[in-house]
Structure 1
Amino acid sequence: MAAYPVILSTTYSLRSSLSSALMYDYVIIDESSQVDLATGALALSCAKKAVVVGDLKQLPNVVDSRTAKTTDKIFAESGLPEVYRYKNHSLLSAVTELFPNAPRVLLREHYRCHPKIIEFCNQKFYNGELIILTEQKSERQPLAVYQTVEGNHARDRVNQRQIDVIKQEVIPQQKLTVSNGSVGIVTPYRNLTR
């Protein structure tokens, strides 16, 4: 342990990153609202002390329907309290319910995204408590919403209508330069089996 005073790992593989005969002095779990209960428990099982860092107002871990069904069956058979229901609780939500008097600190200083985007979040979710330390670097609006018309445009994992709208409308109207690789396109699309 003296040779490696700090070990970086996922919650899943932390247990195997050290001899099973040893315990970590501290385990710090970041983004714990996205950590599921099972891998969170694995990480905590090798800790003398733990610091759980996260934000319940951010996205939780995602549990697919098959896993939810399997874990609900185990949950029903075990008689555990609701706080341990896998599909409904992240590590952070479970810990905050189990230890309501544990010390909590709001990390108020924000350094990440465009000030107009975080200002919306600050007012909507944080009661204006965040201190926004980013600066607007251009006059370009940080967010634009384009909605394509409904229809049967999806084929496998491709929606040609969305591609067309992005190429023919969004890129020209926003005066985006795509040749330098500075534009990313994110779509919350999932191919659902009918």
Structure 2
Amino acid sequence: MSAGGALLLDEHFRCHPRIAAISNDFFYDGDLTVLTDTRGRPALPRPAVIWTHVPGRAARQPYGGSWVNEAEMDKADASG
């Protein structure tokens, strides 16, 4: 039974620190401690996340499944 209040899970071990920094900034007000061991892992050669507006329209596949935005797919493929 809960007595009220909240518990902040303030340690993170999985993502590269540059990736976790995004969530830390937006959702944790900088209170997240990133403890991921990056020794022996390649450095990130570019920013962890890049936001690019891609005009397009999501459409459902002919036989169901996930929604797809072809313009976003093309942009992501060209950026890789």
Q: Normalised by the size of structure 2, how large is the TM-score?
A: 0.55
Pairs within 5 Å for 1:138-177: 138-140=43-45, 141-150=47-56, 154-157=58-61, 158-167=68-77, 169-171=78-80
Tell me the SS of whatever aligns to 1:107: coil
Amino acid at match of 2:11: E
* Structure 1 equivalent of residue 42 of structure 2: 137
> What CA distance in whole angstroms lies between the structure 2 residues aligned with 1:162 and 1:124?
24
Larger Rg: 1
| Change in 2 beyond 3 A, CA 1:148/1:111 | same
Equivalent position SS for 1:119: helix
Q: Which runs of 5+ in 1 are unaligned?
A: 1-49, 51-98, 172-194
Q: Aligned partners of 1:112, 1:129: CA distance in 2, in Å?
A: 16
Q: How far does the alpha carbon of each residue in 1:32-70 deviate from its partner, in whole angstroms, 9 at most, with x for none?
A: xxxxxxxxxxxxxxxxxx5xxxxxxxxxxxxxxxxxxxx
What is the percent sequence identity of the aligned residues? 29
1-structure distance, mates of 2:15, 2:50: 15
After superposition, the Cα gap between the structure-2 partners of 1:160 and 1:133, relative to the gap in structure 1 and judged at 3 Å, is same
Between the aligned partners of 1:154 and 1:129, the Cα distance in structure 2 is 36
What is aligned with 2:23? 121
Alignment of 1:178-193 (within 5 A): none
Gaps in structure 2 of 5+ consecutive residues: 62-67
Q: Deviations over 1:48-96 (max 9, x none)?
A: xx5xxxxxxxxxxxxxxxxxxxxxxxxxxxxxxxxxxxxxxxxxxxxxx
Instruction: With the length of structure 1 as denominator, give the TM-score of the two structures.
Output: 0.29
Partner Cα separation in structure 2 for residue 133 and residue 111 of structure 1 = 5
Aligned-residue CA RMSD (Å): 2.9
Instruction: Provide closer, same or farther for how the CA distance between residues 130 and 161 of structure 1 changes in structure 2, counting only shifts above 3 A.
Output: closer
> What is the match of residue 10 of structure 2?
108
Relative to its length, the structure with more helix (as a share) is 1
Aligned residues of 1:109 and 1:130 also touching (Cα < 8 A):
yes
Q: Shift of the alpha carbon at 1:154?
A: 4.8
